[in-house]
């Protein structure tokens, strides 16, 4: 039981999959330290809470509550993401509701605000019932939020284009605030793919409900997407970019300690010479692409640090690991402290799947990219990186071949000046990212607004 002088009680609902809970918790931590007299109840599944709160269910004015994950008794195959998500969503509304009632009794105070992962669109009704503000967190970029929000509009406009040849490669202006987008890069479930899948349905319902939010916040900075920000600010209440998170949270988000000594390995490398390679926590490129990358690295003699799960390392060409370790060309590790790695001056390019966190961490560190997107919002993120922000080399044909990878690496890492434009634009965005989080920068001010919305007058 919480004792003491708590003046307000905020309930937080996590979407208990992938990197969603730790990202949301990092914002709750910032809010909790800005408003020490407010208690935050953090609702997630036992499995995720266990890793987020390893020692105790309570840290300062944040208390964690477990809700049921919806998995049937004896269900032995968690890890099939879509199945797990569907089972969870089937019980989520009731579970969260019951959880709030229990937490209100436990803390001895009604909640005054409901803060949720935007995927939990149905919780807007609970906020109405309880007569409290509903605040939503979109864990990715303004670009993918826009495509979801404008799904109906995009489907209408697209119906007119449909049928023309090579329609996936068509570049149009379908999204308000975004002059160009390649149709094939819009998330599956909006115009291509299964429009009726549970995930597509969830995203579509979310789009319909988001205008009811008192505030919507994202991990970005508004100078990155001025036109999208302007447009989303006109359709949402308090649309707030409060990132990049990796520049504001002292906490090293997903990055665990440097157990494989990546940073000391980088110390001996020339500035801007090393390729850092990682495809995030979920994506696994097919074996032949891993081989193509490895061959290109050896062919171009590019120094590299590669975060690659143990399971995938067996697909590398024979002798590759040993050769490159002995001659010092590269280092393959199952996990790297990515934020610190990207901040290291030795890194000259980030070969990435275009996950939103990776993209933003790269921008905040001023590292140009080579994107190889797989699914979800990765293709549209990569579109932004390459074609809107112009801070990447493109992989010819959209997947890794030896030749295409050699060319992409050469084009970013060359010292002959051919990558000058990319490097200048990358540096300019890095500066804007850093300015945004400084006192009175846009993200700083937007965070203050978020504090006001979430805790009212109770901030310190
Ligand atoms: N990450 C890391 N070390 C690794 C691989 C990934 O720290 O070796 C972190 C990375 O910094 C980022 C997150 O994991 O914060 C991956 O998030 P992203 O949105 O890029 O991709 P996802 O895993 O969601 O596909």
d(CA 45, CA 68): 6
Mapped onto helix, strand or coil, the DSSP state of residue 15 is: coil
pLDDT of residue 250: 61
What backbone torsions phi and psi does residue 83 show, to the nearest 5 degrees? -65, -45
Q: Are 197 and 167 in contact (CB under 8 A)?
A: no
- Residues enclosing ligand 1, CB less than 6 A? 18-19, 253-255, 278, 280-283, 307, 335-339, 355-358, 361
pLDDT digits (tens, 9 = 90+) for 127-143: 999 999 999 999 999 99
**Bigger pLDDT: 244 vs 414:** 244
Single out the residue of 216, 210, 224, 220 nearest to residue 242, CA to CA. 220
Average pLDDT, the chain: 94
Q: How many CB atoms lie within 10 A of CB 140?
A: 24
Stated as kind and residue range, the H or E segment containing 134 is strand 134-138
Stated as kind and residue range, the H or E segment containing 324 is helix 320-326
Give the count of alpha carbons within 13 A of 145, CB side only.
Answer: 31
Range 204-208 average pLDDT = 98
Query: Binning pLDDT at 50, 70 and 90, where does residue 254 land?
Result: very low
Mapped onto helix, strand or coil, the DSSP state of residue 306 is: strand
Structure token digits, residue 38: 């407010």
Name the residue with the closest Cα to ligand 1, atom 6.
Answer: 280
From the CA of 358, give the closest atom in ligand 1: 20
From the CA of 335, give the closest atom in ligand 1: 8
Separation of CA 437 and ligand 1 centre (Å): 21
**Bigger pLDDT: 456 vs 225:** 225
pLDDT digits (tens, 9 = 90+) for 218-233: 999 999 999 999 999 9
Query: Binning pLDDT at 50, 70 and 90, where does residue 456 land?
Result: confident
Question: Lowest mean pLDDT: which of 61-70, 136-145, 232-241, 251-260?
Answer: 251-260
Contacts of residue 66, defined as CB under 8 A and 6 or more positions apart, other chains included, come to: 43, 44, 45, 46, 49
Name the residue with the closest Cα to ligand 1, atom 11.
Answer: 338
Single out the residue of 259, 255, 212, 274 nearest to residue 237, CA to CA. 212
Stated as kind and residue range, the H or E segment containing 58 is strand 58-59
pLDDT of residue 451: 98
Residue of 23, 247, 254, 379 best suited for mutating to test ligand 1, as the one with most atoms within 8 Å of CB: 254
Contacts of residue 6, defined as CB under 8 A and 6 or more positions apart, other chains included, come to: 37, 38, 39, 61, 107, 109
Pick the catalytic residue from 66, 69, 84, 117: 117
Name the residue with the closest Cα to ligand 1, atom 16.
Answer: 280
Residue 421 has pLDDT above 90, yes or no: yes
Contacts of residue 76, defined as CB under 8 A and 6 or more positions apart, other chains included, come to: none
From the CA of 283, give the closest atom in ligand 1: 25
Alpha-carbon 455 to chain mean position: 25
Q: What is the DSSP letter of 71?
A: P
Pick the catalytic residue from 20, 148, 204, 344: 20
pLDDT of residue 26: 96
pLDDT of residue 251: 53
Which residue intervals of 53-122 are DSSP H helices?
A: 81-107
Residue 77 has pLDDT above 90, yes or no: no
**For the chain, how big is the Rg over CA atoms in Å?**
22
pLDDT digits (tens, 9 = 90+) for 296-342: 999 999 999 999 999 999 999 999 999 999 999 999 999 999 999 99
Residue of 357, 361, 362, 382 best suited for mutating to test ligand 1, as the one with most atoms within 8 Å of CB: 357
SS (H, E, C) 238-263: CEEECCCHHHHCCCCCCCCCCCCCHH
pLDDT of residue 385: 98
Residue 3 has pLDDT above 60, yes or no: no
Residue 6 has pLDDT above 90, yes or no: no
Q: Are 41 and 12 in contact (CB under 8 A)?
A: yes
pLDDT of residue 407: 97
Separation of CA 280 and ligand 1 centre (Å): 4
pLDDT of residue 253: 45
Q: What is the DSSP string of 106-123?
A: HHTS--SEEEEETT-TTH
Q: How far apart are the first and last CA of the chain?
A: 23
From the CA of 253, give the closest atom in ligand 1: 15
Question: Is residue 20 flagged as an active site residue?
Answer: yes
pLDDT of residue 72: 85
**Bigger pLDDT: 456 vs 10:** 10
Separation of CA 108 and ligand 1 centre (Å): 38
Range 143-157 average pLDDT = 97
Residue of 24, 119, 139, 255 best suited for mutating to test ligand 1, as the one with most atoms within 8 Å of CB: 255
Residue 408 has pLDDT above 70, yes or no: yes
Alpha-carbon 222 to chain mean position: 16
> Does the bond joining 244 to the residue before it have cis omega, within 30 degrees of 0?
yes
Query: Binning pLDDT at 50, 70 and 90, where does residue 23 land?
Result: very high
Angle at 164 between CA 160 and CA 165, to 5 degrees: 155
The residue to which tokens 């549209």 are assigned: 380
**Bigger pLDDT: 436 vs 251:** 436
Question: Is residue 128 flagged as an active site residue?
Answer: no
From the CA of 378, give the closest atom in ligand 1: 25
d(CA 39, CA 228): 34
Name the residue with the closest Cα to ligand 1, atom 15.
Answer: 357
Look at the chain and count its residues.
Answer: 460
Residue 240 has pLDDT above 70, yes or no: yes
pLDDT of residue 163: 79
User: Above pLDDT 90, what percent of the chain?
Assistant: 86
Separation of CA 22 and ligand 1 centre (Å): 12
Q: Are 358 and 244 in contact (CB under 8 A)?
A: no
């Amino acid at each position: 039981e919480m004792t003491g002088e708590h003046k307000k009680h905020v309930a937080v609902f996590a979407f208990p999959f992938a990197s969603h809970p730790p990202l949301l918790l990092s914002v709750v931590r910032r809010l909790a330290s800005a408003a020490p007299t407010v208690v935050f109840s953090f609702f997630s599944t036992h499995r995720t809470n266990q890793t987020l709160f390893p020692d105790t269910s309570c840290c300062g004015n944040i208390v964690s509550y477990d809700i049921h994950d919806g998995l049937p008794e004896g269900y032995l195959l968690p890890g099939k993401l879509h199945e797990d998500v569907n089972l969870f969503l089937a019980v989520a509304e009731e579970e969260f509701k019951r959880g709030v009632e229990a937490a209100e009794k436990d803390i001895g105070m009604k909640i005054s605000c409901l803060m949720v992962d935007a995927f939990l669109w149905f919780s807007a009704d609970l906020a109405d019932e309880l007569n409290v503000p509903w605040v939503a967190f979109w864990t990715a970029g303004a670009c993918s939020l826009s495509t979801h929000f404008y799904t109906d509009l995009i489907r209408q406009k697209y119906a007119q284009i449909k049928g023309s040849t090579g329609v996936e490669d068509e570049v149009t202006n379908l999204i308000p605030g975004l002059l160009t987008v390649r149709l094939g890069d819009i998330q599956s479930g909006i115009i291509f793919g299964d429009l009726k899948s549970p995930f597509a349905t969830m995203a579509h319902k979310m789009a319909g409900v988001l205008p009811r939010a008192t505030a919507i916040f994202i991990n970005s900075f508004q100078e990155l997407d001025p036109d999208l920000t302007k447009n989303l600010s006109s359709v949402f209440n308090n649309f707030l970019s409060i990132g990049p998170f990796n520049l504001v949270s002292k906490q090293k988000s997903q990055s665990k300690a440097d157990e494989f000594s990546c940073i000391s390995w980088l110390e001996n490398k020339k500035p801007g010479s090393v390729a850092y390679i990682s495809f995030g926590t979920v994506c696994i490129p097919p074996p032949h692409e891993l081989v193509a990358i490895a061959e290109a690295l050896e062919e171009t003699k590019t120094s590299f640090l590669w975060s690659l799960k143990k399971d995938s390392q067996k697909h590398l060409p024979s002798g590759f690991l040993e050769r490159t370790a002995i001659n010092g060309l590269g280092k393959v590790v199952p996990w790297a402290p990515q934020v610190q790695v990207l901040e290291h001056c030795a890194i000259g390019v980030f070969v990435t799947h275009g996950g939103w966190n990776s993209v933003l961490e790269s921008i905040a560190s001023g590292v140009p990219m080579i994107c190889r997107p797989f699914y979800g919002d990765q293709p549209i993120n990569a579109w932004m990186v390459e074609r809107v922000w112009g801070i990447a080399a493109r992989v010819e044909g959209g997947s890794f071949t030896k030749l295409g990878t050699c060319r992409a690496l050469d084009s970013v890492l060359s010292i002959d000046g051919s990558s000058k434009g990319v490097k200048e634009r990358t540096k300019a965005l890095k500066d804007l990212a850093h300015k945004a989080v400084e006192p009175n920068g846009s993200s700083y001010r937007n965070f203050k607004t978020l504090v006001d919305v979430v805790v009212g007058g109770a901030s310190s």
